[in-house]
């Protein structure tokens, strides 16, 4: 937990709350090692979420690509009045 605090620069109570939620959801598991609690990421639930999101990625990626092409065309067609920041 201390390593997470240092890397993310968030207070220990916030780290504890987030880890508790992740543990209750099954995304991490923990074990006690002397005075420390050691957390381990469980990849299986994350793989399930990734598989569920895959259909949405397929749906949205084509639309986001089309939006990007449209915006590029709009930018090329619009007259430039001054510099953009």
pLDDT single digits (tens) 8-19 = 899 989 999 999
Kindly state whether residues 37 and 48 are assigned to the same domain.
no
Does residue 35 sit in the same domain as residue 61?
no
**Mean pLDDT computed over every residue of the chain:** 88
The residue with tokens 């065309």 is 73
Q: In this structure, is residue 27 part of a structural domain? A: yes
User: Does residue 68 share a domain with residue 50?
Assistant: yes
Boundaries of domain holding 32: 2-41
32 plus 49 within the same structural domain = no
Tell me: do 30 and 56 sit in the same domain: no
70 in a domain, yes or no?
Answer: yes
Residues 7 and 36 in one domain: yes
The answer to whether residues 62 and 35 belong to one domain is no
User: How does residue 3 score in pLDDT terms, banded at 50, 70 and 90?
Assistant: confident
Rounded distance between C-alpha atoms, residue 40 and residue 27, angstroms: 9
Domain count, the chain: 2
Residue 19's alpha-carbon distances to 5, 7, 13, in angstroms, are 11, 15, 10
Shared domain for 10 and 32, answered yes or no, is yes
Q: What is the pTM of this model?
A: 0.59
pLDDT score recorded for residue 80: 66
Give the residue carrying structure tokens 């609690």: 37
């Amino acid at each position: 937990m201390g390593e997470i605090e240092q890397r993310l620069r968030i207070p220990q109570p916030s780290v504890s709350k987030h880890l508790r939620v992740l543990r209750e959801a099954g995304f991490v598991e923990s074990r006690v090692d002397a005075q420390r609690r050691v957390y381990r990421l469980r990849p299986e639930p994350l793989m399930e979420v990734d598989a569920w999101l895959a259909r949405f990625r397929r749906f949205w990626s084509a639309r986001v690509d089309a939006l990007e092409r449209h915006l590029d065309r709009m930018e090329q067609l619009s007259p430039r009045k001054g510099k953009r920041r």
